[in-house]
Structure formats: structure tokens, C-alpha cells
Structure 1
């Protein structure tokens, strides 16, 4: 079995550590945590390794957010069989910062990167949605908010959250998507040892 995870975000240092790049943050951290690294290709940078006896392929688009799904259909046709899984990891404005939802069969919910992936695939994929709403000011332009840098405290919160997200990935393989959803969709998310 293989599991392909596409982390949504914008390329380049300018967008690193912004709210809109939480998909990139997750796949970067997952790759680093498993002592793997990214290799550049035409449409995606990718990192591949084994985790929990499962082949993992992490992807980051080389394009900007609104075109993150470009080329994904061809990639999946070449690299996935019917028994394999595909999931998109992205920031979610409709969830408070620190909340996480594992969802399937849902619309893009106003997220242009997700919309592009759905348009490319022709169906809504499994998604790991990472909340970014930290009580933005009503007069703050939405694009300014999602492209704003995470605070030091928020980055520390993400560091604490990562082991739980990684455990959820393990649960998807070992216990199934429904069980993993019940674990990750709780707040606060239990520690992996719970």
C-alpha cells in the first residue's frame, strides 16, 4: 500500500511560515521527521520513504496555490493503484487555529487550492484540514490574513500538534479512516499514548 499526501501552499521563502502554507509545513515536517528529503520534478517536489510499513510520497506543487492541483491526475495515474490512498493537507480558515478535521467528500469551502485539486481530479479527495483562524480583525483583508506570518506562539503550537498529526496518519493505516477521524477531530486532540 502507498499513501500520497499533497501539501498545499505557495513556493518560495516569501511564503514560508505563513498561514496559507500549513500544507507545506506539514509535509516538510513529516519528511524531516522521517529523515527524508525533497527532490524537484516538473510539477511537484516530492519526498518518498516508508512509515508504519507503508510507502509514503509527499508532494508540494511547484506552482502557486490556485494551481496546486495542476498535474496531480497524471502523477496519481503513474504512481497509485486502486488499493492506495491520496490525501490533501491544507490550511482551513473555517476552523480555529489548532483545530484539525479529517474530511472526505466535502466541497472546497472557498479554498482555491482545494478547488483546483477537485477540478483536476473530478472528485473531492480525503483532506486533512488545519485550522488557521486566530480571531482576525473584521477589517483585515482576507488575503492579507492568510498570507500573514505565524506568530512564535503559533509555531510552538504547531510543533506540539505535529506528533498527534503523525499518529493520525499511522491510525489511517492501522485502524482505518473513520477511526483516525474520530481521533483527530476531537479537541483537544489526545496525546498519541492516550
Structure 2
């Protein structure tokens, strides 16, 4: 009798998950694949997700269009995605996994670098322009909307005229490296809060911090 009850309870839990897509999230960290890009400013999206995966004791697995793993937090299922399409084609992977996992658009969070914010500054927005960021441009094109949440991580703008590409594809300096662990910890907290507390609460708690 007990085993029958367990089977019924298990089926009920599966059914509840299937019927409640609002508890399912997709968090896409943007970056470029390959060792030469690993520690660059443009790859902060990958870096934040890597830090969360390490903290949770998880591992990424290579799948279609990206590396993925699933993280559980306070009754939420959070699919973590690092597209392997290179930055400029990030939207293809985001759209594919959004549709495959049947994640509502409002439960999508894209983690990316932002040269318009000082290093380490956090800004969460529920919509907005791509701001010249090619990864965000492609996501907007693929999704046919700019109304998706993005978590912008400031990388600063300490570059001369015509040196933007070299800057974002350059490595962190010693000062930034020293501050990175605390900033990554804050970034992990943003992702958890987005899933558990919602966009508005997360913006109020973390924006500008």
C-alpha cells in the first residue's frame, strides 16, 4: 500500500510541474566558447553561471546549441544555459531552449556584460534596447521582442577610441580579479532572487549594488 501511495504521489508531483510552467526558468549567460575567451570581460555571463554551478556542486553537459544544467531553488526549476553559438548568434540557442522547455518569456533571464556600467555594478531590467550589444541584438531578433529580462554586469569603459572590441575581449585586470569573488556571489544571489522573488523585488534589492 505504501509503495502504491508513493507512486501516486510521485505522479502528482510530475503533473503539478508540467501544469505549472511559471515555476520553470531559463537563465542564459552570454559569452564566447574557447580557452582564449575564458577570462575576458565579454564572457561574464558564462562566469556568473559557472560560479553558481560550482557553488551548487553541479556540472554542465553539452547539448544542442549549448552547455546546460538544471538547478533547483525554493521549488523552482532553473535551466542554466551557456550558448555555444558564439556571442553574435546567442539568440538561436536561447529561442531553442525557451521553446523546448516551454519556459514563459517572462521567466527568461539573460546575463551579459555592459560597458556603460562601472565594473561590478548590477542592473536588472525587464526590457530594453540591445544597447549595441550583439548578443542581445540577436536574441531580440530571434524572439521578435525586446521584452525579456536581462541582468547587466558592468565591465566599465576604460578604453580609448576604437578600442572597444579589444577591451571587451581583453582579460580582467588585477584589481577586477581581486573584487570578482564578491561580485560573483552577488550575481548568484540575483539569479536566485529572480526565480524566487520575481523581477520587481530583485530590481529593488540589487540594482546599483
TM-score over 0.5 (shorter chain): yes
Q: Which residue of 1 aligns with 2:75?
A: 53
Alpha-carbon offset, residue 32 of structure 1: 1.1
Map 1:70-85 to 2 at 5 A.
70-82=92-104, 85=107
Displacement over 6 Å in runs of 4+: none
Larger strand proportion, structure 1 or 2?
Answer: 1
Q: How far apart in 1 are the matches of 2:84 and 2:191?
A: 24
Find the partner of 1:112 among 109, 113, 134.
Answer: 134
For 1:98-153, what per-residue CA distance to the aligned partner results, in whole angstroms no more than 9, with x for missing partners?
A: 111001220100000110011111112100000001x5132461110000101232
Aligned residues: 186
TM-score (norm. length: structure 2): 0.83
* Structure 1 residue 90 displacement after superposition: 0.3
Gaps of 5+ in 1: 190-194
Aligned to 2:164: 142
Q: Structure 2 CA distance, aligned partners of 1:83 and 1:117?
A: 12
Given that residues 98 and 104 in structure 2 are in contact (C-alpha distance below 8 angstroms), is that contact kept between their aligned partners in structure 1?
Answer: no
Counterpart Cα distance in 1 of 2:106 and 2:155: 29
User: What TM-score results when the alignment is normalised by the length of structure 1?
Assistant: 0.89
Q: Given that residues 2 and 84 in structure 1 are in contact (C-alpha distance below 8 angstroms), is that contact kept between their aligned partners in structure 2?
A: no
Structure with larger Rg: 2
